[in-house]
Structure 1
Amino acid sequence: MTAEAVIVKMTPPSLPSWAVPPPEGFVAEDLDHIPDLPAHTELIDGSLVLVSPQRHFHHTVIFRLHVALEDFVPPGHEVVQEMSVKLAPKQRPMPDLMIVGPHAVIGGEVTLFQASDVILAVEVVSPDSQVRDRDRKPVLYAEAGIPHFWLIEEDNGKPTVFVFERNPVTKSYEAAGTYHERLKVTVPFDLDIDLTKLYQARTR
């Protein structure tokens, strides 16, 4: 009896629809209709950006800053987390935090905000998103008219907040201050936050 070779044909797993972008790239509205799209996916320059798992520093600073901001936002304003903003047809990033004004539409069916809704955008820098957070996103936010931007960096295990304000003439951000221990500003509204409480690693 002779042995016969058995050829097994391996069928590659089918790719999800979002893995193959259209020739012209995705547009902002596509994110609401693409099936099985990973959570927290952003759209930058027509390309999908998948968010890596958060580090403890990133998660904790965002959560505690959200709570702290709630004590200072004026009536009619809202602190928003894990929501995206449409800046342009092919730009729909998801800031780590946003503050939207009283003209923003709030409701259970809302999946994104418009750039004109946003008073402040906040990004906490992560190792996988350094270029986007430091370079690309600030440009997009400023071009879309968002008046205030904060960039938060980890410095020796503590948060440092870099505050920027939009120059309406150049349509770009200008540095307005760097804060290490306490964030005390008067725009976009009066607030005073103890930054040392935003992240305190547990010690044994």
Structure 2
Amino acid sequence: MTALPDDSWFHRLRPQPSPVTAEEYEALPEEICRAIEIVDGYVVYCEAPSPDHQTAARRLANLIEREAKAAMGRGRGCLTVNTDVDLRLRDVPLLNRRPDVVLYRCLDRERGERLRAKHALLVVEIVSPGSETQDTTDKFGEYAKAGVEHYWIVRLDGTGVSVIERYRLDHASTLYKHIETFMKDEPADRPAVANPIPIAIDWSELEF
């Protein structure tokens, strides 16, 4: 598990007699926020990602960011790509996740705007040993209920990203519908998507 600093805030959260509020979370030091998520007001400690996981997230973010800049050049509006950033899904009870990669509309920095589900165009989670249930069940439902339009579940093999599962929100049911699955080993042209922005998947860029 990720080691947390010996901080008074940490001791106030554990064993946590009551749910954490949005105000309490926002007062936490950044080094603690980076090591936790909040689910229904309760702290979930995040394991430090493996080097392969971190590499995959960084390379996916780079690929998506390049396509986002191209989309902005075509008049798509201001877009941002980030890794391991706070995404507020709900204020009460507090639900705060830290996606591996997220593509979102630029925030108003002067107003101190917080990243929320309404800003997110695409959320990507990379499945690691031990995160299967969270990524394919818990977060799958949370992101959909919060209204995140597009969700990718990414799987790795020993050489890099090997599978990308694409889901899109069905607004009538507030559930994700599977669109397609890209597999690195399939003999096909470079896969591409049109939404939320045009993205061409170059598997060679996603190798370790």
TM-score per shorter chain, which class?
0.7 to 0.9
- Is the CA contact 1:38–1:50 (under 8 Å) kept in the aligned structure 2? no
Aligned counterpart, 1:150: 152
Equivalent pairs, count: 184
5+ residue gaps, structure 1: 1-13
Cα RMSD over matched residues?
2.2
Aligned counterpart, 1:34: 28
Query: How far 1:59 moved relative to its partner?
Result: 0.6
5+ residue gaps, structure 2: 1-7, 73-77, 185-189
Aligned counterpart, 2:199: 191
Q: Secondary structure at the match of 2:172?
A: coil
- Is the CA contact 1:17–1:34 (under 8 Å) kept in the aligned structure 2? no
Inter-partner Cα distance in structure 2 for 1:58 and 1:142: 23
Q: Secondary structure at the match of 1:78?
A: strand
- What letter matches 2:177 in structure 1? E
- What letter matches 1:85 in structure 2? L
Query: How far 1:154 moved relative to its partner?
Result: 1.8
Aligned counterpart, 2:187: none
| 2:142 matches 1:140 | yes
TM, length-normalised to structure 2: 0.79
Query: How far 1:107 moved relative to its partner?
Result: 6.3
Identity of paired residues, percent?
A: 23
Flag the structure with higher helix content: 2
Q: Secondary structure at the match of 2:57?
A: helix
- What letter matches 1:17 in structure 2? R
Query: How far 1:17 moved relative to its partner?
Result: 1.1
- The one of 94, 99, 110 equivalent to 2:98 is 94
Deviates more, 1:36-45 or 1:63-72: 36-45
Inter-partner Cα distance in structure 1 for 2:37 and 2:103: 18
Q: Secondary structure at the match of 2:13?
A: helix
Q: Secondary structure at the match of 2:154?
A: strand
- Is the CA contact 2:63–2:205 (under 8 Å) kept in the aligned structure 1? no
